[in-house]
């Protein structure tokens, strides 16, 4: 046997073996799968670790991919807590019976309409659906009072939106719930004819700001984040809130859940409780994520319209569900 | 040793017996490594099949035989056809200019032409859309993908042109063939394995592409699969649709095999003659112009977008991350993945070329399949497997490296295979007849002959692994960031200014292997000629 014949192989295999030795976490460390924005998550986790001494390992990713990953991991999932920007991913995991009930005292910290009715996930923060408009292309007087108007012919070529974003489906679902599926599909067709399609909301707000599109359908915080990136001098756009309780005036909830498979149920419950605690919610308000804290008595970041002044349609995230009917509708129309 | 004719019909048992008998020790090691490669490759395929049939084949039929699927099929096929053809033309033309002409600054061009591989698809797509937001649909998809994938043809063809014996071409000329005829009948035939291999890679990469199509709004099977995963949370439907991708790639693999009859190998006395570079003459300016245009479109647009982002600056609120640490991890993972897939590719190619039978051919062909599957499918397949059977490895560096190796093994195979087709088996037989052990022959004859191909394989996998995002997000060790994950984290925050340096670094670390690729592999090349 001539051992010299495979020197590179031997080096490789030993290197690979060495590499495999490092990595992965053990012990009392909690593992958090997070689809939430990284800076918010990092600030929350740091404060939680300091307060409780429980270490949290964060894995950030696309929340839908993380949900698919948890479904594959099943009972072996290393994740203890799943924190998302939107509720459909949580609802999907609930549908697969992968979530454990959350302490009622935690759920009670935020208005119950923002929690899972079954108590399987807790609402942590919220965003409101708005219209961003380019201030040199559109006069405030031209702005629509309802999102339904954007399907009218006068908006042809002017509306930017991202049909594949998780934020978009709830809008269509809300119209379906309020006005029926036929009306919703009619509206979506009109919007499709008028619209410019973008891959995500980040692109929508950037393109409206650059004047490539006159208006764009987004959640409020994308605009504030772009302003944080560019500075006020770089902003050539503004936000427009739809009329109270009109279909476009919708709240999107970011939530968190406890995995049934978690081996650290008690510590994980502590993390969830922290997310909706006063100090946790203050962090959300001041972490430059520009989301609304859901706990009563915690003011949002300055510059945001007060949460109490928003008058969204009275549909809960649970009522909006996982949006599968909307998904089918979008696919039928070729929007996805 | 056995002639290729009898090896082609030799059954599996024969291969195994000869391997065990000790007459040919090297195939035993090959067989072991090839079996390992096969097992790795079958993993995502098994995942797709198991998941797809979970709700029963009736449901799969229902999912597959609908109008949407016909639309997706048409979209995917016409894109694959146009892109592959364009990549073939661009790849061969640019490779010929760099390798066979007195092109000014050809070393620079050689690097520039490979670099688009190092630009992540999402950066390319974004670059184009920021220039022209109306860039949507079929033509946009064809253009963006051709510009990012043509190096997959350019690289193997350039390597093959550099190695091909020019005396055949000269013989053709002396027999009265025009330069064009000599190119068409001799040169192109010499590089055919490399060309077809490159085209195959382009087709497979197109089938699995997602990021760029999402941005230019073009619906292919993979886009639909991602929609099922991301908006429908429907693994079953996604895997059922992935079956179509498997079928399409099988068709592509079969077509390549049918077109790729045995390549020409050089036997006879003397050393191979390397080509004398042709002067471009009056064509210099148009050729330079064409190459400059290609580089401007393929590289200038994404690089321009990066420069624009960096110049615009950033006030990102993300916690500061270490660029250096991310760079280190990326380099470490991609180099290890490149080494692993090259080590797996060499025996696969050796078996399928030197011990060709249905069994070894099947092994080699199977290894291509994962490249046509979306990264998410391969990654989820690994998740499903490792959480059940290898939990200690779950989300370890090792698993990530294995994922890259599975995803990009075809890139390694094409590089190694085209080199091995050029390396005459007869030389190995001579070595053995002189009494050298097979391992010594392999090390002293075969390896120097295929060194360039191995280097190309390594570099290609390295570049692709460095820019991979989907599987990285799912499988990276907790707390370890790579350039791609950090780039992603910043762009999801709209912090393009902070994200740009990460994309720029991805380009830089791709430039290094790209540069190495263009150098004659010094020592080995000289030894090869002295032989």
Would you kindly state where each structural domain of chain A is located, as residue ranges? Answer: 27-126+252-305, 127-250+322-332
Contact at 8 Å (CB) between A267 and A28?
A: yes
Q: What is the mean pLDDT of residues B151-178?
A: 83
Please tell me whether the overall predicted TM-score, pTM, comes out greater than 0.80 for this model.
yes
Our CA dihedral for B210, B135, A159, A133, rounded to 10 degrees, sits at 100
Residue B280 lies in a domain: no
Give the distance from residue B110's alpha carbon to the nearest chain A alpha carbon, in angstroms.
28
Which of B47, B233, B343 to substitute to test the interface with A, most A CBs within 10 Å? Answer: B233
Q: What is the mean pLDDT of residues B118-138?
A: 75
Banded pLDDT at B526 (limits 50, 70, 90): very low
Among B410, B449, B455, B516, smallest CA distance to B114 is for: B516
> What integer pLDDT is reported at residue B394 of this predicted model?
96
Contacts of B481 in chain A (CB under 8 A): none
Contacts of A57 in chain B (CB under 8 A): 478-479
pLDDT in tens, B267-287: 555 556 666 777 888 888 899
Considering only CB atoms, A212 lies closest to which of B133, B217, B235, namely B133
Q: What is the mean pLDDT of residues A277-305?
A: 92
Considering only CB atoms, B336 lies closest to which of A16, A42, A199, namely A16
Banded pLDDT at A45 (limits 50, 70, 90): very high
Measured in residues, chain B has a length of: 531
Considering only CB atoms, B233 lies closest to which of A59, A68, A73, namely A68
Considering only CB atoms, B477 lies closest to which of A24, A72, A89, namely A24
Q: What is the mean pLDDT of residues B233-256?
A: 92
Banded pLDDT at B126 (limits 50, 70, 90): low
Which residues sit opposite A84 in a β-bridge?
A255
Contacts of A39 in chain B (CB under 8 A): 317-319, 493
Whether A236 has a pLDDT exceeding 70, the answer reads yes
> What integer pLDDT is reported at residue A104 of this predicted model?
97
Among B469, B472, B488, smallest CA distance to B480 is for: B472
Contacts of A261 in chain B (CB under 8 A): none
A27-126+252-305: in CATH 3.40.190.10? yes
> What integer pLDDT is reported at residue B410 of this predicted model?
92
> What integer pLDDT is reported at residue B428 of this predicted model?
79
> What integer pLDDT is reported at residue B271 of this predicted model?
58
Q: What is the CATH number of domain A127-250+322-332?
A: 3.40.190.10
Whether B402 has a pLDDT exceeding 90, the answer reads yes
Contact A65 B393 (CB under 8 A): no
What 8-state DSSP symbol labels residue B278?
B
Contacts of A198 in chain B (CB under 8 A): 133
Whether B262 has a pLDDT exceeding 60, the answer reads no
CATH classification of the domain holding B78: 1.10.3720.10
What domain range includes position B111? 12-264+286-530
Q: What is the mean pLDDT of residues B173-188?
A: 84
Cα separations in angstroms, B311 against A232, B51, B307, B314, B327: 17, 47, 6, 9, 22
Per the structure, how many domains does chain B have? 1
Nearest residue in chain B measured CA to CA from A212: B133
**Percent of chain A, pLDDT > 90?**
66
Whether B346 has a pLDDT exceeding 70, the answer reads yes
Cα separations in angstroms, B164 against B65, B113, B195, B263, B396: 47, 20, 13, 11, 42
Give the distance from residue A26's alpha carbon to the nearest chain B alpha carbon, in angstroms.
11
Contact B397 A72 (CB under 8 A): no
Tell me if domain A27-126+252-305 and domain A127-250+322-332 are identical in fold: yes
Residue B2 lies in a domain: no
Contact B136 A197 (CB under 8 A): yes
Contact B233 A64 (CB under 8 A): yes
């Amino acid at each position: 046997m001539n051992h010299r014949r495979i020197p590179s192989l031997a080096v490789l295999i030993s290197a690979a073996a060495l590499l495999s030795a490092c990595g992965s976490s053990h012990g009392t460390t909690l593992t958090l799968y997070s689809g939430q924005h990284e800076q918010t998550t990092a600030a929350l986790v740091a404060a939680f670790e300091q307060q409780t001494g429980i270490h949290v390992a964060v894995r950030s990713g696309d929340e839908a991919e993380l949900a698919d990953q948890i479904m594959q991991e099943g009972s072996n999932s290393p994740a203890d807590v799943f924190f998302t920007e939107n509720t459909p991913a949580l609802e999907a995991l609930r549908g697969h019976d992968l979530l454990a009930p959350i302490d009622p005292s935690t759920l009670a910290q935020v208005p119950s309409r923002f929690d899972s009715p079954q108590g399987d996930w807790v609402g942590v923060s919220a965003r409101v659906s708005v219209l961003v408009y380019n201030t040199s292309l559109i006069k405030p007087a031209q702005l629509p009072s309802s999102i339904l108007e954007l399907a009218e012919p006068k908006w042809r070529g002017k509306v930017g939106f991202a049909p594949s974003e998780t934020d978009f489906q709830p809008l269509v679902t809300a119209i379906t719930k309020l006005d029926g599926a036929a009306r919703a599909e009619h509206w979506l067709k009109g919007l499709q004819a008028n619209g410019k399609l973008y891959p995500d909301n980040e692109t929508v707000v950037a393109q409206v700001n650059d004047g490539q599109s006159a208006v764009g359908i987004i959640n409020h915080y994308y605009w504030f984040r772009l302003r944080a990136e560019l500075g006020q001098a770089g902003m050539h756009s503004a936000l427009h809130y739809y009329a109270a309780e009109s279909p476009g005036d919708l709240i999107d909830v970011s939530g968190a859940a406890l995995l049934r498979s978690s081996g650290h149920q008690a510590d994980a419950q502590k993390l969830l409780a922290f997310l909706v605690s006063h100090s946790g919610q203050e962090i959300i308000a001041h972490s430059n994520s520009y989301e609304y804290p859901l706990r009563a008595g915690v003011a949002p970041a300055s510059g945001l319209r007060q949460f109490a002044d928003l008058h969204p349609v009275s549909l809960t995230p649970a009522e909006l569900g996982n949006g599968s009917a909307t998904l089918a509708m979008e696919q039928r129309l070729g929007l996805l | 040793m056995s002639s290729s004719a009898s090896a082609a019909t030799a059954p599996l048992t024969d291969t195994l017996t000869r391997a065990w008998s000790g007459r040919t020790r090297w195939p035993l090691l090959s067989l072991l490594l090839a079996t390992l490669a096969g097992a790795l490759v079958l993993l995502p395929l098994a995942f797709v099949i198991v998941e797809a049939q979970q709700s029963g084949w009736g449901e799969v039929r229902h999912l597959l035989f609908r109008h949407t699927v016909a639309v997706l099929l048409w979209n995917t096929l016409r894109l694959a056809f146009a892109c592959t053809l364009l990549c073939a033309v661009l790849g061969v033309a640019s490779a010929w200019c760099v390798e066979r002409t007195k092109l000014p600054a050809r070393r620079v061009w050689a690097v520039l032409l490979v670099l688009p591989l190092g630009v992540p698809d999402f950066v390319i797509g974004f670059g184009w859309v920021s220039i022209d937001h109306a860039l949507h649909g079929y033509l946009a998809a064809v253009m963006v993908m051709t510009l990012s994938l043509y190096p997959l043809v350019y690289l193997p063809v350039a390597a093959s042109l550099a190695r091909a014996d020019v005396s055949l071409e000269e013989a053709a000329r002396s027999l009265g063939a025009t330069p064009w005829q000599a190119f068409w009948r001799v040169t192109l035939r010499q590089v055919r394995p490399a060309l077809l291999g490159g085209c195959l890679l382009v087709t497979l990469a197109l089938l699995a592409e997602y990021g760029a199509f999402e941005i230019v709004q073009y619906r292919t099977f993979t886009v639909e699969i991602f929609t099922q995963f991301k908006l429908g949370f429907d693994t079953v439907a996604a895997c059922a649709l992935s079956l179509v991708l498997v079928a399409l790639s099988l068709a592509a693999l079969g077509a390549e095999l049918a077109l790729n009859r045995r390549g020409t190998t050089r036997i006879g006395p003397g050393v191979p003659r390397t080509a004398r570079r042709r002067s471009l003459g009056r064509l210099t300016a148009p050729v330079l112009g064409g190459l400059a245009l290609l580089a401007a479109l393929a590289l200038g647009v994404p690089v321009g977008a990066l420069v624009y982002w960096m110049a615009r600056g950033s006030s990102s609120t993300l916690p500061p991350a270490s660029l250096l640490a991310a760079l280190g991890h990326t380099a470490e993972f991609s180099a290890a993945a490149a080494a692993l897939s090259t080590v797996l590719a060499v025996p696969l190619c050796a078996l399928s070329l030197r011990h060709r039978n249905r069994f070894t051919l099947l092994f080699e062909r199977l290894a291509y399949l994962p490249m046509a599957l979306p990264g998410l499918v391969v990654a989820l397949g690994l998740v499903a497997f490792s959480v059940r059977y290898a939990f200690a490895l779950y989300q370890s560096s090792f698993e990530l490296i294995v994922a890259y190796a599975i995803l990009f093994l075809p890139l390694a195979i094409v590089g190694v295979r085209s080199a091995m087709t050029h390396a005459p088996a007869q030389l190995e037989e001579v070595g053995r007849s002189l009494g050298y052990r097979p391992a010594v022959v392999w090390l002293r004859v075969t390896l120097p002959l295929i060194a360039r191909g191995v280097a190309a394989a390594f570099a290609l996998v390295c570049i692709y692994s460095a820019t991979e995002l989907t599987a990285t997000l799912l499988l990276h060790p907790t707390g370890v960031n790579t350039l791609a994950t950090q780039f992603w984290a910043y762009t999801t925050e709209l912090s393009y200014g902070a994200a740009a340096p990460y994309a720029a670094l991805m380009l830089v670390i791709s430039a290094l292997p790209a540069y190495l690729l263009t150098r004659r592999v010094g020592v080995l090349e000289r030894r090869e000629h002295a032989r």
